[in-house]
Amino acid sequence: MTGAPSRPGSAAVVAEAVRGAELVLPRGGGTKPALWSVEGAYVLDLSALSGITEYLPSEYTVTALAGTPLAEVEARLAAEGQYLPFDPLLVAAGSTVGGAVAAGANGPGRLRYGGLRDFLLAVTFVDGRGEIVRGGAKVVKNAAGFDLPKLMVGSLGRLGVLTECTFKVFPHPESCATLRVAGMALDEAIEAAGRVGAGAVEIECLDLAHGLAGWDLEIRIGGRSFALDARLKRAADLLDTDVTTLSGDADAAHWRTRREFGWASPDASVLKLPLTPATAGALEQVLADLDASQVARVYSAGIQQAFVAWPAERVADLPALDGALTETRLTALALRAPVEAANKPILGHRTGGELLRRVEQALDPAGRFGRL
């Protein structure tokens, strides 16, 4: 079956569509085209499967159909003073619940309490045989059965089509502000980040952004308004250099731009790479070796991940980047990339291949979703 995408409005129709297709890939908001534009694939457009089905603020849980725009979920939560602590990306761009889970990517705020994997409680999905499967439970704690929700995080539509997801949510900090030190050398910035991170002050976000004049260290602190100034001062004392402070709307706008990739050129490919403070240097070396030291990039969430904007004019060098990452045992996910890269959304080093192969065999024996 090929041709125009179908737009199912229920899990049962998704199941029927999957059973009738040879190669099928779900699309949520379509904000990560590199992840679903696989050649020859029949595209299942999930935008009609939309809406919040249950929101219980006192339970800290929200359930939504997979095609629900995250913007809608965030707005509902905000009205009750709650939020998705994994800090989803590309919300304004139209990212959906299912797309976010399948991409498994998190924003800078994941530093504080954890990533999407830590906040996904239950899923319903259609597997590769067209069966509707439920995993997890709609309560904040559960240890019954295999943790299928976690398996779906990062599955890129290759293990099942998500139809409904339940998240744990938390109360939003009363207010937030950000300290910024501009124009640092990278090792100096990493060292300062470590110093503040090891201190007592609890941090919402800690990013290093590559700019024209070096690296900007940005530290966001949130909590009770009454205590915020004292805490900012405490963190600033640890930095022991000139800091500027962003607060209120400026603070919110700054982090919104970060997670919407407003800092990346619109035609650049955007890659996400898991890292640690100890491996940031290895990525810098890879970029230097490829003569790419000037690309826009951010070391985010306490230097646990990098976002790299690979320029459109260097698309032909993506295979070289792939090779260099493999050699240094680094991995990248193309959140946005040219369609020709779509058959290979994951670049660099891979682990767990044998286990993944067995799981794929179980959930999608005929390979209807393609293989990762």
Partner 1 sequence: MAPADAADFLDALTRRLGPDRVLTGAAPMAAYESDALTAFRARPRAVVLVDSAEEVVDVVRLCAAAEVPFLARGSGTSLSGGSLPVHDGVVIAMNRLNRILEVDPVRRTAVVEPGVVNLTVSEAAEPYGLYYSPDPSSQSVCTIGGNLAFNSGGAHCLKYGMTSNHVLGLEVVLPDGEVIEIGGDSLEGVGPDLVGLFVGSEGLFGIATKITLRLLPKPETFFTLLAAYDSLAAAGEAVAAVVASGLLPGAMEIMDNLAIEAAEAAVGAGYPLDAEGLLIVELEGEEQQVAAESELLLEVVRQSKPYLEHVASDPDDRMRIWKGRKSAFSAVGRLSPDYIVQDGVVPRSRLGEALTEIQRLGERHGIRVANVFHAGDGNLHPLILFDGRVEGELERAEELAGEILRLCIDLGGSITGEHGVGMEKRQYLGEMFDEADLDAMRRIRLAIDPGELANRGKMFPDAEAPALLSHGPHPLEVAGVISRE
Ligand X SMILES: Cc1cc2nc3c(=O)[nH]c(=O)nc-3n(C[C@H](O)[C@H](O)[C@H](O)COP(=O)(O)OP(=O)(O)OC[C@H]3O[C@@H](n4cnc5c(N)ncnc54)[C@H](O)[C@@H]3O)c2cc1C
Please give the residues from 72 up to 91 whose contact with ligand X meets the rule CB under 6 A: 89-90
272 part of the interface to ligand X, by CB under 6 A = no
Binding at 90: pick from ligand X, partner 1, none (beta carbon under 5-8 Å per type): ligand X
Q: Any idea which residue has 């890939």 for tokens?
A: 25
350 contacts partner 1 (rule: CB under 8 A): yes
> Which CB atom, from 226 or from 266, has the smaller least distance to partner 1?
226
By CB under 8 A, name the one of 18, 154, 268, 342 that touches partner 1: 154
Mark residues 36-55: x for contact with partner 1 by CB under 8 A, - for none: --------------------
CA-to-CA dists, residue 69 to 11, 81, 100, angstroms: 17, 19, 10
358 binds, among ligand X, partner 1, none (CB under 5 to 8 A by kind): partner 1
According to CB under 8 A, which residues from 3 to 22 bind partner 1? Answer: none
CA dist 254 and 262 (Å) reads: 10
Taking the C-alpha atoms of residue 56 and residue 38, their distance in angstroms, rounded to an integer, is: 38
Non-local (6+) Cβ contacts of 55 within 8 A are: 61, 62, 63, 76, 77, 80
Q: Binding to ligand X by residue 63, rule CB under 6 A?
A: no
x/- string (CB under 6 A) for ligand X, residues 125-164?
-------------------------------xx---xx--
Which partner, ligand X, partner 1, none, binds residue 147 by CB below 5 to 8 Å per kind?
partner 1
- 311: contact with ligand X by CB under 6 A: no
Sheet architecture: strand order including 269-274: 244-247, 175-184, 214-223, 205-211, 297-300, 305-310, 269-274, 331-336, 346-348
User: How many other C-beta atoms lie within 10 A of the C-beta of residue 138?
Assistant: 18
Q: Which is nearer to partner 1, 5 or 332 (CB)?
A: 332
* Cα separation, 127 vs 51, whole angstroms: 22
Part of the chain binding partner 1 (CB under 8 A), chosen from 2-10, 43-51, 199-207, 258-266? 199-207
Residue 227: name its binding partner from partner 1, ligand X, none (Cβ under 5 to 8 Å by kind).
partner 1
From the list 30-38, 195-203, 290-298, 313-321, the region that binds ligand X by CB under 6 A is 30-38
The beta strands (E) that lie in the chain are given as: 24-27, 42-45, 52-56, 61-65, 82-83, 120-126, 132-136, 161-168, 170-171, 175-184, 205-211, 214-223, 244-247, 269-274, 297-300, 305-310, 331-336, 346-348
Chain residues binding ligand X by CB under 6 A are 25-32, 35-36, 46, 66, 89-90, 93-96, 98-100, 102-103, 156-157, 161-162, 261, 264, 270, 335-336
